Amino acid sequence: MANTKRPKLLLLLAVAVVASWLKTYITYKTSFNMAIDNVMQEFILFINPLCFLLFIYGFSMYMKTWKGTVRYLLITSTIMTIILYANVVFYRFYSDFITLPVLFQTNNFGDLGSSVLSSLRIHDPLYFADILIIWFAAKKLGEPAVKAAVRPMFRRIYFVGTAALLVLNLGLAETERPQLLTRSFDRELLVKNLGMYNYHLYDIYIQSKSHAQRALADGTELTEIENYTSANHAEPDPEMFGVAEGRNVIVVSMESLQTFVINNDMNGHEVTPFLNSLTQDEDTFYFPNFYHQTGLGKTSDSEFLVENSLYPLSGGAVFFTHGGNTYNSMAEKLGDNGYYTNVMHPNGKSFWNRDMMYKALEVDHFYDIESYSVGEGDAVNWGMKDIPFFEQSADLMAEMPQPFYSRMITLTNHYPFTLDEEDKYIPEYDSNSRTLNRYFQTVRYMDEALKSFFDDLKEKGLYDNSIIVMYGDHYGISENHNKAMSMYLGEEVTPLMSAELQKVPLFIHIPGYGEGETLDTLAGQIDLRPTILHLMGIDTKEDLQFGTDIFSPEHDESVIFRDGRFITPENIYAGEMCYDLSTREAGDPAACEESMQKVQQELKYSDMVINGDLLRFYRNQPVSGQELELREAE
């Protein structure tokens, strides 16, 4: 009797592999903005899903029944589709690929509803088409009358061929991008060369490795890192050190605010009139060349940078993955100097694991949504509107013991940038991007809220004895909206310009100072901790931190992004190209080589501190007699 099961099983296997392979490749081309520079890169992108799909679907040949085979292929296809589709939705907002820690941040999902819904598209069911194709093919083929297993020899040949394809893929990828697997911070490179599914396997390996680092760490790794940070310490400017000593410290994280709206208009409408006025204010230092340095943790990453002067992780939010670590935060430092430290944010206390992380940062109190009265019309999709938030926060500050350190996180200017009609001070923009169109309106609302906050501080008698630091926490308009941004800016958004669009405004306002100015100093969020502490007259020379005081003559004018891009006064490294800022053209890659080595070293050291929880040793390590004598001599 003829064996009818084997050809039907292999035909169904072929249908499953080809359907999922082509769907994945089409998704690459239509849903992700991955730059392809040559034919070889396109070929690698085309074949990279295949080896994983051949491998995972190949286990269907071990199923003992036809129904078992069909069930395995359908379940596997569904899991692969969920992974792919999750990345599609995530990419629409973050322009990045999802990681394992982010997948397990389920406690955040309830607050993400409006953002997720805004990222859905009417054609999204097409991402599940291969599941239907496999089901239809199984029905069409029908269950064979005769049972027969696939011969062991064929299975061996099949998996050896799959392994050979993987070796080919890795070989071509390594040729095209040497040392690919050392660049785990660049997820686009990994997906482009390894494939979506292999990238997630590699991500699991990286996350497991980071957990192992903590278990194996013993503190000996600190010596090299401490020597590096000590050598790069910037002594404070004597004229600026302690100029705000004893004052209250108010740090405002301005949600999704980018510098391109400052001193700019939208169709004749001034977008940030209050902040524009501060750029000319005699009590304000304004920094137009200041950059966010966040990763996947976005706002929580900016908090982490500001508090610790450490870089965020590449694979997830430190607030979630390492909330139990030991830190030496700015809150702790100010607390040790007599400050009442607190964070004010009208959202749930568990979002981004803040309730646990703030304990690790030694914040005295967290004023979450339960600390505020959300009246009718006061709510926005992510929590409380900025104007009532600032009004009630000023009331809370008036009751605080002084001096206090309050770090405030705004909410209204958050994706998907929606507002009630009565809160719209200017009309929408008229591009093809609804996100960018609405963005200008929510920025304008936040600007109005900040203006009223300054008035409230004056009314409460808090203004004159405070220093107010305001910074943008991360980008609001991702690279997915480059076409609309090109329309607004009047020129194409190139990789060089995309890097420059990561600028976020920084304002340091010292009432009564009288010598404020606009400073073109190149700096990033990692520099805020030493800058603020030095303004308060608190030394940081013994602290393990990677930022430097922005006012210091020794300030390191370079900015490192979590994805490996970087900016120096001479060059920008972006899109795997080294741009000469004097010509704004791609130049000699060798010009970026020295800076590239520093970038990789600094990110590596910061990751070691976090993954190994090394500050638990740094804070408590004994000081030898010789070290004590050296410190006293200094």
Active site residues: 299
Q: What angle do CA 240, 518, 484 make, to 5 degrees?
A: 135
Q: How far apart are the C-alpha atoms of 572 and 565, rounded to whole Å?
A: 8
* Sequential DSSP letters for 487-527: HHHTS---HHHHHHTTB--EEEE-TT-----B----EEGGG
Give dist(CA 80, CA 83) in Å, integer: 5
Distance of alpha carbon 31 from alpha carbon 91, whole angstroms: 8
| The two three-digit tokens of residue 397, written as one number | 């500050």
Distance CA 474, CA 503 (A): 9
User: Max Cα separation, the chain?
Assistant: 98
Give the helix ranges, DSSP H, for 180-327.
187-194, 196-216, 222-231, 273-278, 299-308, 318-321
SS3 of residue 606 by DSSP: helix
Tell me how far apart the alpha carbons of residues 365 and 267 are, in angstroms, rounded to a whole number. Answer: 43
Amino acid identity at 510: I
Q: Are 479 and 418 in contact (CB under 8 A)?
A: no
Paired tokens of 263? 């001193």
Say which DSSP state 604 is in.
Answer: H
What are the angstrom distances between the C-alpha of 41 and each of 17, 173, 194, 377? Answer: 22, 8, 11, 52
Residue 460: strand, helix, or coil: coil
On whether the CB atoms of residues 425 and 445 are closer than 8 A, the answer is yes
What amino acid occupies position 215? Answer: A
3-class SS of residue 26? helix
Q: Which structure tokens are listed for 422?
A: 């009565």
Distance CA 148, CA 358 (A): 61
Q: Is 168 left (phi over 0), alpha (psi -120 to 50) or beta?
A: alpha
Bridge-based pairing of strands 379-380 and 383-384 is antiparallel
* Residues 193, 180 contacting (CB under 8 angstroms): yes
